[in-house]
Amino acid sequence: MASWRTYCLLGFMSALLTAACETAPAPEAAVLKKTDAETMAKVMTVLAGALNVASVEFGGGDPSQAPVISVLPPPLGPHEDRSPAMPVLFDLVLRKDGCYAVRRETGEAFWLEGVGCYRFVEGL
Write the pLDDT tens digit of every residue in 44-88: 999 999 999 999 999 999 999 999 999 999 888 899 888 888 999
Give a yes or no: residue 33 inside a domain: yes
Is residue 17, in this structure, part of any structural domain at all?
no
Q: Tell me what pLDDT residue 68 has.
A: 97
Q: Stretch 7-32: mean pLDDT, rounded?
A: 67
Domain that holds residue 102: 26-119
Is pLDDT at 17 greater than 60 in this prediction?
no
Residue 29's DSSP bridge partners are 93
**Strand, coil or helix: what is 58?**
strand
* Residue 21 included in any domain: no
In a domain, 8, yes or no: no
- The residue ranking higher by pLDDT, 106 or 3, is 106
101 within some domain? yes
Longest dimension (CA), the chain: 74
**Which backbone phi and psi does 74 adopt, to 5 degrees?**
-60, 155
Confidence of residue 2 (pLDDT cuts 50, 70, 90): low
CB contact at 8 A, 48 and 55: yes
Task: Report how many domains make up the chain.
Answer: 1
Global pTM value: 0.77
Band the pLDDT of 103: cuts 50, 70, 90: very high
Residue 6 in domain: no
**What is the number of helices (H) and of strands (E) in the chain?**
2, 6
User: Is residue 19 a part of any domain in this protein?
Assistant: no
**Looking at residue 76, what is its pLDDT?**
86
Question: What sign does the CA torsion over 43, 41, 115, 30 have?
Answer: negative
Specify if 16 maps to a domain: no
